[in-house]
Amino acid sequence: MKTARLSTLVRWIRRHIELSSVILLGLAVATIWTLAELSDEVVEGSTSDLDRDILLLLRTPGDLSDPIGPFWLEEMGRDFTALGGVAVLALTTLFVSVFFMLWRQWASALYILVAVGGGIVISSLAKEFFDRPRPDLVPHGSLVHTASFPSGHSMMAAVTYLSLGVLIARLQPRLFLKVYILAIAVFLTLLVGMSRVYMGVHWPTDVAAGWLAGAAWALVCLIVARSLADRGHIEQDASEEAP
């Protein structure tokens, strides 16, 4: 009797609850919890030594104005950090939104604008709330004028590239294409964050917080997107449409 009841319960769960949705929700909760713990450590000053050691590790001993590596690596650092800049992310978001508009997928275009716009608001509010000063140990390799925590470039790169990557990957029926698109999104996000530390404009924990905040927001947006797809407001995952 107990076995029969257990089998009935398992069948009900499979019928009414998607395992992937549970996993996404769990990842979102874990990411937000990790971000909260990191923020608490930063506010208490517990990460100061680690931040300082990593930042100095990326500078030439005896000349803190010179990042380690050849001159072309520093130039590449500027190029990579620009991938998380307002102009690049705004144009990327605009181009992809227009693509969905031309495809007459108005809900998807609106979803992109809300996801990226919401990330900008969250990033701005977080910077105002924590108001952490920028690193003053080394000269900055890029112009900055806002607070340091969390890294806006890192967070917005995560929000934009992950959100766009997920939305585009949903249109691909083949798993390897989905993985490839998402891998590019993650790779670009990591490049932007690492370049911010290399350029000396952020503490490492600023970047870590930006990644976590951006990933958490992207996960929340993905959960919403799946819910909208189930209701027919945006496209279903291509693999779900296949016969």
Residue appearing with tokens 């650092």: 77
Q: Tell me which residue of 179, 181, 162 sits closest to 225, measured CA to CA.
A: 162
Asked whether 142 and 201 are in contact (CB, 8 A), the reply is yes
Residue appearing with tokens 């590449």: 76
Asked whether 68 and 62 are in contact (CB, 8 A), the reply is no
Which one from 16, 145, 202, 233 is the annotated catalytic residue? 202
Residue type, 91: L
Task: Establish whether 145 is a catalytic residue.
Answer: no
Question: 236: which residues sit within 8 A by CB, 6+ positions away?
Answer: 170, 229
Asked whether 93 and 112 are in contact (CB, 8 A), the reply is yes
Tokens of residue 184, six digits: 């590019």
Q: Tell me which residue of 167, 163, 32 sits closest to 100, measured CA to CA.
A: 167
Q: Helices marked H in 45-172 — which ranges?
A: 48-57, 71-82, 86-102, 106-130, 152-157, 163-169
Tokens of residue 56, six digits: 């100095």
Q: Tell me which residue of 104, 88, 233 sits closest to 164, measured CA to CA.
A: 88
Which one from 16, 140, 145, 153 is the annotated catalytic residue? 153
Question: 92: which residues sit within 8 A by CB, 6+ positions away?
Answer: 160, 164
Separation CA 154–CA 161 (nearest Å): 11
Catalytic residues: 153, 202
